[in-house]
Amino acid sequence: MAGQNSGKTAQQDVSQCPSHDHRNLSTSINVSASAYLLAMVSRPPENWRVWMAQVARDVEAGILEPDCDGATEMYPESLLRATDSALEAFEAEVRGLLEPTDDEVLGAVARVVLALNAVDGDASHGGAGYCTEEREQLCEYIDLTLGEHGVDVAPLAGRRGIDRAEITDAWRDW
């Protein structure tokens, strides 16, 4: 486990701090399959809060080096709140769609992606924003939310000549 003494110096072991890939609950926290599924449908900011809390606990316990404590600054509360707000609006819009057309669904996707673009570009978050892992979690969350509300994303994407993983690409800056 990172941080344990393996005979290497801190300079030799560059994996002392959790990487972006470790923000996913499935790799950073040992959870049961049902808890993992529940985490997968959680909003990404909740996953990020859990990850930061785990890093802080691991630093406090001496599992991670003290300089890893800065990892908790990757997600300022303003970024988390703004992301939650954009996702809440998306959820409410999708809940209100009854037998939606492809254009209505993609309109909702466009609006959430544009809102997340604004969050990502907002300088008030101290330079924090979305990187690869966050992008993947946000896109997966959009897909899962649509699916939970009866939208079959793969056929919808197919009718547009794209892969389901590309449904946010037309609008996404992050």
How many of the other CB atoms lie within 10 Å of CB of 25? Answer: 21
Total-model pTM = 0.77
pLDDT confidence band for 11 (50 / 70 / 90)? very low
Distance CA 146, CA 76 (A): 27
Check if the beta carbon of residue 15 is closer than 8 Å to that of residue 2.
yes
pLDDT exceeds cutoff 80 at 21: no
Would you state the pLDDT for residue 18? 61
How confident is the model over 90-115, as pLDDT tens digits? 999 999 999 999 999 999 999 999 99
Domain ranges of the chain: 20-74, 77-166
pLDDT exceeds cutoff 80 at 71: no
Q: What letter represents residue 56's amino acid?
A: A
Among 69, 39, 41, 65, smallest CA distance to 53 is for: 69
Over the Cα atoms of the chain, what is R_g?
18
